[in-house]
Copies of this chain bind each other. A is one copy, B any other.
């Protein structure tokens, strides 16, 4: 059972937006046992969409389209689907009612003709009710194959996938079980890691697939397996992991749950222990705080941050002694540690992270090599730091520093179990 995702829109093909919808849909499909064969992004062009529908129908059992369902003239998905199914568009009463309700609640203006026309769908389609927008999802069948068309606005698409598409797919088909398990390693390159575990890799059974995903200082190892016997698959993969772990113990830091980022793992632990965190960020510019607060409930463990982007703020708000900066420069272990200790005290928290570095592209007044970052962790009993040389460009330095900061904090929290 395979799916193909087709994302429609010139904005994708000119690079004006990054297509994030496909990744979300692929994740949700994998969770229920549907593999994605291919993701195809096509233009707002009738012939191109028709061609991609024909090809997808050959490749896959489930075809999910997103985009091109808006009320304006450049939105042609609905008409094109009607043409593909040799069908006509008719008004769907339930969809119209839904649009009227949304308009009463949020827009508070009378419906225009284009708004009313949003309720037109192919006569062969079942409407999937969009509770957060005016474009309905559509579900069409052709033999055993299912075609699903969804709006391209991410939160509308997400709500429809979760509330409508997944339950309906599970009702219609019987899917196998897919398992992905990803191990996180830090501190070893991809090729050295591959050399280290070669014997183990060579004995892996054919139906368990291994992938290496290197990124910004970490290499993720993903094991994937698929089959009808869920218990057996879980057991087999677990057994392989048991064989693998002793060989990578110096580098292994944990499992990556697709839902669970390292900041989510930290969030869980801090919430459970009723402990709190603050950050003092220089080169990471608030990105650590931002990733922490992206998770609902952050206010129960995260008190806040001082983003000290100038020397003056480090001195005045964080009370880093002038003499210390003069002696070591702002990009130093000493200043990172002083920042961490200061924000811990200022915000009265159990943990604090501080970052200082030169992300580039210029070195400004620092003596350290471009891309050097010092990260400090402070607790009530201790403060320490680590130096990282993260190269260039700027964006890589910032992202790597954020990863490293979370990694250091996670280790510190684990120590205090």
Max chain B C-beta neighbours (<10 A), residue from A114, A304, A347, A360: A304
Contact A10:B209 (CB < 8 A) given known A16-B182, A17-B23, A294-B398: yes
Q: Are A74 and B299 in contact (CB under 8 A)?
A: no
Does A26 sit within 8 A of B, measured CB to CB?
Answer: yes
Assembled-state Cα–Cα distance A99/B236 (Å): 38
What per-residue 1/0 map shows which CB atoms of A376-398 lie under 8 Å from chain B? 00000000000000010111101
A245 to chain B, nearest CB (A): 19
Contact status of A298 and B309, CB under 8 A, knowing A13-B36, A16-B213, A153-B215 = yes
Taking chain A's interface residues, is the majority helix, strand, or loop, or is none over half, making it mixed? mixed
What residues of chain B lie closer than 8 Å to A293, measured between beta carbons?
284-287, 307, 309, 398
A37 and B43 contacting across the interface, CB-CB below 8 Å: yes
Task: Say yes or no for A167: interface residue by CB 8 A criterion.
Answer: no
Residue of A115, A189, A298 contacting most chain B CB atoms (<10 Å): A189
Nearest Cβ in chain B — how far from A65, in angstroms? 14
Which residues 180-196 in A have Cβ within 8 Å of B in the complex?
180, 182, 189-192, 194-195
Tell me if A124 is interfacial: C-beta within 8 Å of chain B: no
- A288-317 CB mask vs B (1 if < 8 Å, else 0) is 111011101111001111111110110011
In the complex, A176 has a CB within 8 A of chain B: no
Q: Which residues of B contact A32 (CB under 8 A)?
A: none
| Minimum CB–CB distance for A297 against chain B, Å | 8
B11 touches A222 (CB 8 A): yes
Instruction: State whether the Cβ of A14 lies closer than 8 Å to any Cβ in chain B.
Output: yes
Contact present for B26 and A14 (CB under 8 Å) = yes
Residues of chain B within 8 A of A112, CB atoms compared? 191-192, 195
Q: Which residue of B lies closest to A117 (CB)?
A: B191
Query: How far, in whole Å, are A190 and B292 apart by their CA atoms in the complex?
Result: 33
A307→B305 contact, CB < 8 A: yes
Q: A294-B285, A304-B309 are in contact. Are A19 and B22 (CB under 8 A)?
A: yes
Contact size range, A: 35 or more
Name the contact of A191 in the complex, choosing from B36, B40, B115, B346 (C-beta under 8 A).
Answer: B115
| Interface residue A413 (Cβ < 8 Å from any Cβ of B) | no
A279 / chain B contacts, CB cutoff of 8 Å: 307
Minimum C-beta distance from A358 to chain B (A): 10
Chain B residues with CB under 8 Å of A297's CB are 362
Whether the pair A72, B212 counts as a contact (CB closer than 8 A) is yes
User: A321 near B: Cβ within 8 Å?
Assistant: no
Give CA–CA (A306, B74) in the complex, Å: 43
Which B residues touch A43, using CB under 8 A? 37-38
Q: Is A95 an interface residue (CB 8 A)?
A: no
Residues of chain B lying within 8 A (CB to CB) of residue A290: 284-287, 289-290
C-alpha spacing A88/B298, complex, angstroms: 55
* Measured CA separation A43–B224 after assembly (Å): 13
Interface residues of A in 257-274 (CB under 8 A from B): 258
Smallest Cβ distance from A48 to chain B, in angstroms?
8
With A38-B40, A72-B191, A286-B290 given, is the CB distance from A24 to B14 under 8 Å?
A: no
Scoring A20, A55, A279, A303 by chain B CB atoms within 10 A of each residue's CB, the highest score goes to A303
For A286, the chain B residues whose CB sits under 8 A away are 281, 286-290, 293, 305, 307
User: For residue A25, which residue of chain B has the nearest CB?
Assistant: B15
Given A16-B258, A296-B362, 19 other A-B contacts at CB below 8 A? A17-B23, A37-B43, A38-B48, A39-B40, A39-B41, A70-B214, A74-B212, A114-B191, A114-B194, A153-B215, A285-B289, A285-B292, A285-B298, A298-B309, A304-B306, A304-B309, A305-B309, A317-B317, A317-B346
> Chain A interface (Cβ within 8 Å of chain B)?
10-20, 22-30, 35-44, 48, 52, 55, 70-75, 106-107, 109, 112, 114-115, 118, 132, 134, 153, 155, 180, 182, 189-192, 194-195, 201, 209-215, 222, 224, 258, 279, 281, 284-290, 292-294, 296-299, 302-310, 312-313, 316-317, 346-348, 360-362, 364, 391, 393-396, 398
